[in-house]
Amino acid sequence: MTTTIMVAGGAGYIGSHMVQTLLAENYDVVIVDNLSTGHRQAVNPQARFYEGDTRDRQFLEKVFSQEKITAVIHMDAFSIVPESVQEPLKYFDNNVIGMVTLLEAMQKHDVHYIIFSSTAATFGNPTKIPVGDTDPQDPINPYGESKLIMEYMMRWVDQAYGIKFVALRYFNAAGALADGSIGEDHRPETHLIPIILRTAVGEQAELKIYGDDYQTPDGTNIRDYVHVMDLTQAHLLAVQYLQAGQASTCFNLGSSTGFSVKEILQAARKITGQPIPAQVAPRRGGDPDILIADNTRAKKILGWKPRYDNVEDIIQTAWNWKQKHPQGYQD
């Protein structure tokens, strides 16, 4: 029997890669997306696409009535940290209310499993590095807070209605499908690697390095870059974990290796063969010095085996996408 999975946010960066992985594994896929930050061109034609908003009860009723969904992969959210600080209610409205209506629809239509895109931002300034799955969570921006609230909501909903969840807290998602056919296209783009590649092709005059006075060896922030296709594999394993009757839980997903902004820049210069001018600029605000995941539990319990363990390979896939789609999606 085929298993039908709903990918909410399936027209987005990580969502479009998720759909690709599910289809390659012969799952039947339903995409729900309002295209607020996603792209019509990123919608895989082999999936059934419902254009609409997860806060819209009537819309969700239609989708859940027409489709026999086994599990929901929840990736639909706003996720720009500085914007969340300026417009917190926009974030609580989209992220938290969207989760309320989705869980309501799941309860009504007897859907028992949800895999949720959570984030390292739920930890705020972590108390230790690497960050473990059960370390204290204390977000320092509304985006991270909205995601932590969503984790808590799923716990209570599991207790009340038995909807089982796996929350996957990604560290820095990066890279693209290796053939460069889909990739990262946020507007505005705030993420380091796509901005560096944009600078490599001359779309931007120079990279601004946001601060070189952090408590790290070269003074720039250290992050844990994890390949988007490795993230999608973890979701697949999480669906199987829940289908096997295991308990709800949360995992940190990263490569367990950290790279500074300057190290990423150096690696990108090597991959692209371009000089990529850079200038140190003031701190951006809200950036923790170091974020590195402890991925031991995800490896042990889910059996997750990240395939990309070299940051240059990750950047190479992002570069493949950039070269094939210099202007991103054309929609």
Ligand X SMILES: O=c1ccn([C@@H]2O[C@H](COP(=O)(O)OP(=O)(O)O[C@H]3O[C@H](CO)[C@@H](O)[C@H](O)[C@H]3O)[C@@H](O)[C@H]2O)c(=O)[nH]1
Ligand Y SMILES: NC(=O)c1ccc[n+]([C@@H]2O[C@H](COP(=O)([O-])OP(=O)(O)OC[C@H]3O[C@@H](n4cnc5c(N)ncnc54)[C@H](O)[C@@H]3O)[C@@H](O)[C@H]2O)c1
Strands, DSSP E only, in the chain?
4-8, 28-33, 48-51, 71-74, 113-119, 164-170, 172-174, 207-210, 222-223, 225-227, 249-253, 259-260, 278-281
# residues contacting ligand Y (CB under 6 A): 28
Binding positions for ligand Y, 199-228, rule CB under 6 A? none
Has 143 been annotated as catalytic? yes
Q: Residue 192 binds what, of ligand Y, ligand X, none (CB under 5 to 8 Å, by partner type)?
A: ligand X
Which residue in the set 55, 164, 223, 235 belongs to the binding site for ligand Y (CB under 6 A)? 55
Q: Which 36-55 residues touch ligand X, going by CB under 6 A?
A: none
Q: Is 196 in the site for ligand Y (CB under 6 A)?
A: no
Site string for ligand Y, 170-189 (x = CB under 6 A): x-xx------------x---
CA gap 240, 158 in Å, rounded = 18
Contact status, residue 194 vs residue 184, Cβ threshold 8 Å:
yes
The kind and range of the H/E element at 201 are none
13 vs 251 by CB, closer to ligand Y: 13
Picked from ligand Y, ligand X, none, the partner binding residue 76 (CB below 5 to 8 A depending on kind) is: ligand Y
Among 21, 44, 84, 119, contact with ligand Y (rule: CB under 6 A): 119
Sole binder of ligand Y in the list 12, 144, 254, 328 (CB under 6 A): 12
Number of residues that bind ligand X (CB under 6 A): 21
Closest CA to 262 of 248, 276, 245, 251: 276
Residue 92, beta-bridge partner list? none
How far apart are the C-alpha atoms of 167 and 123, rounded to whole Å? Answer: 14
Beta bridge partners of 250: 167
Residues 156-185 within binding reach of ligand X (CB under 6 A): 171-172
Residue 288 within binding range of ligand Y, rule CB under 6 A: no
- The β-bridge partners of 74 are 8, 116
- Binding ligand Y by CB under 6 A: which of 20, 21, 54, 199? 54
Is residue 233 a contact residue for ligand X (CB under 6 A)? no
CB-based contact 101:57 (threshold 8 Å): yes
Residues 99-158 that bind ligand X (CB under 6 A): 119-121
Residue 125 interacting entry, from ligand X, ligand Y, none, C-beta within 5 to 8 Å by type: none
Q: How far is CA 123 from the centre of its chain?
A: 15
Closer of 9 and 211 to ligand Y (Cβ): 9
CA dist., res. 164 & res. 161, Å (int): 9
Residue closer to ligand Y, measured from CB, 178 or 280: 178
Q: Which stretch binds ligand Y (CB under 6 A): 152-160, 169-177, 196-204, 299-307?
A: 169-177
Residue 51 CA: distances (Å) to CA of 37, 95, 186, 276: 13, 17, 19, 39
Q: Please name the helix (run of DSSP H) or strand (run of DSSP E) that holds residue 330, with its range, or none.
A: none
Task: Say which residue the tokens 């601060």 belong to.
Answer: 211
Position 287 contacts ligand X (CB under 6 A)? yes
Which of ligand Y, ligand X, none does residue 236 bind to, with CB < 5 to 8 Å depending on kind? none
Minimum distance from residue 21 beta carbon to ligand Y (Å): 14
Beta bridge partners of 114: 72, 165
Q: Give the pairing type, strands 222-223 and 249-253.
A: unpaired
In DSSP notation, 206-254 reads -EEEE-S-SSSTTSS-EE-EEEHHHHHHHHHHHHHHHHTTPPPEEEEES
Q: How far is the CB of 288 from ligand X (least distance, A)?
A: 8
Whole-angstrom distance, CA of residue 30 vs CA of residue 175: 24
Query: Which residues participate in catalysis according to the annotation?
Result: 143
Instruction: Provide the binding-site residues for ligand Y, judged by CB under 6 A.
Output: 9, 11-15, 32-38, 53-55, 75-77, 79, 94, 98, 117, 119, 170, 172-173, 186
Instruction: Provide the binding-site residues for ligand X, judged by CB under 6 A.
Output: 79, 81, 119-121, 171-172, 190-192, 195, 207-210, 221, 223, 261, 284, 287, 291
